[in-house]
């Protein structure tokens, strides 16, 4: 059963979906853009069934009570600090950290800078930020796939994305994300100031991604070969930035929205990384 709590984190109020497991393990699940904590519904339930408690926040800008206006408030350091403050409120010295899309970027950076707080890392769809930054600089395929970022950072793009009930973002989900889940993702982004806040994550990037240090935490990267935003080049570079055990699970017939498209495979990969018994990826 999921309970949505309002947690006070760094002076702001975050909406956090909490699922209680019966075991001693805890996971923090970080969503991406343009999604919400609802992206973890199936995976979170499956983890709870295996005894893993989880906390899935609507992150900075997505929670109404945590929506500052300045671009600088969305720098990667701020996003990481939110995660650590959330962890401070949990009954664990270290958590199993899972992130998809932008959530993966934040998860990588958190593990790199606070390895003592991360028992394991499962990154979904996006490789280590420095690997991704290099792929964007060197691989024409990745540059093409990342072209949408240039649009997102333009002034006024939030108004265009919010038009017609965020029709453009709904189109991006294709038929992978069910309409009712898409509604849950996009409703918060249609609140005043929310779309701008979500896009400020992109506007604040600067050199942040390239400067994320290597990770010394046992890590798994789950990536879909049909990903519309992430090419294989960054996945292949990822090992250079993980100074610990790294497992790459490549799902050849899947795309970008893996928490919704491949929840069974993703749950299995998370359980394998945590060391908790579960089915093998792809089974």
pLDDT at 10 over 90: yes
Asked if 236 contacts 248 with a C-beta cutoff of 8 angstroms, the reply is no
In a domain? residue 280:
no
pLDDT of residue 280: 39
Mean pLDDT (whole number) for 268-275? 96
In a domain? residue 279:
no
Mean pLDDT (whole number) for 167-175? 95
Asked if 49 contacts 113 with a C-beta cutoff of 8 angstroms, the reply is no
pLDDT band at 276 (very low <50, low <70, confident <90, very high): confident
In a domain? residue 220:
yes
In a domain? residue 236:
yes
HEC string for the chain = CEEEEEEEECCEEEEEEEECCCCCCEEEEECCCCCCHHHHHHHHHHHHHCCCEEEEECCCCCCCCCCCCCHHHHCHHHHHHHHHHHHHCCCCCCEEEEEECHHHHHHHHHHHHCHHHEEEEEEECCCCHHHHHHHHHHCHHHHHHCHHHHHHCCCCHHHHHHHHHHHHHHHHHCCCCCHHHHHHHHHHHCCCCHHHHHHHHHHCCCCCHHHCCCECCCEEEEEECCCCCCCHHHHHHHHHHECCCEEEEEECCCCCCHHHHCHHHHHHHHHHHHCCCCCCCCC
pLDDT band at 270 (very low <50, low <70, confident <90, very high): very high
- Residues spanned by the domain of 259: 2-274
Number of domains making up the chain: 1
In a domain? residue 143:
yes
Mean pLDDT (whole number) for 258-269? 98
Mean pLDDT, the chain, integer: 96
In a domain? residue 282:
no
pLDDT digits (tens, 9 = 90+) for 12-65: 999 999 999 998 999 999 999 999 999 999 999 999 999 999 999 999 999 999
In a domain? residue 283:
no
Q: With CA atoms as reference, report the closest residue to 109 among 134, 138, 78, 85.
A: 78
pLDDT at 282 over 60: no
pLDDT at 129 over 50: yes
Q: Specify the CATH number for the domain of residue 31.
A: 3.40.50.1820
pLDDT digits (tens, 9 = 90+) for 200-234: 999 999 999 999 999 999 999 999 999 999 999 99
């Amino acid at each position: 059963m999921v309970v949505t709590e309002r947690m006070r984190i760094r002076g702001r109020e975050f909406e956090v979906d909490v699922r209680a497991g019966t075991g001693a393990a805890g996971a923090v699940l970080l969503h991406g853009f343009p999604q919400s904590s609802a992206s973890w519904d199936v995976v979170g339930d499956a983890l709870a069934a295996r005894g893993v408690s989880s906390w899935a926040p609507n992150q900075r800008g997505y929670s109404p009570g945590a929506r500052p206006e300045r671009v600088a408030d969305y720098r990667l350091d701020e996003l990481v600090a939110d995660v650590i403050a959330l962890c401070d409120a949990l009954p664990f010295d270290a958590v199993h950290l899972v992130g998809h899309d932008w959530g993966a970027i934040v998860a990588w950076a958190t593990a790199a800078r606070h390895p003592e707080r991360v028992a394991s890392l499962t990154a979904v769809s996006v490789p280590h930020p420095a690997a991704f930054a290099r792929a964007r600089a060197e691989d024409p395929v990745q540059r093409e796939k990342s072209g949408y970022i240039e649009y997102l950072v333009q002034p006024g793009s939030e108004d265009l994305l919010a038009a017609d009930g965020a029709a453009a973002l709904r189109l991006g989900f294709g038929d992978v994300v069910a309409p009712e889940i898409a509604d849950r993702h996009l409703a918060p982004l249609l609140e005043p100031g929310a779309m701008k806040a979500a896009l400020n994550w992109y506007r604040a990037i600067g050199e942040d991604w390239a400067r994320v240090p290597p990770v010394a935490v046992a890590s798994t990267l789950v990536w879909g070969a049909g990903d519309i935003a992430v090419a294989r080049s960054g996945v292949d570079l990822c090992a250079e930035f993980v100074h610990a055990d790294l497992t790459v699970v490549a799902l050849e017939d899947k795309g970008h929205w893996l928490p919704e498209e491949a929840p069974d495979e993703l749950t299995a990969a998370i359980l394998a990384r945590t060391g908790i018994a579960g089915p093998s990826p792809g089974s």
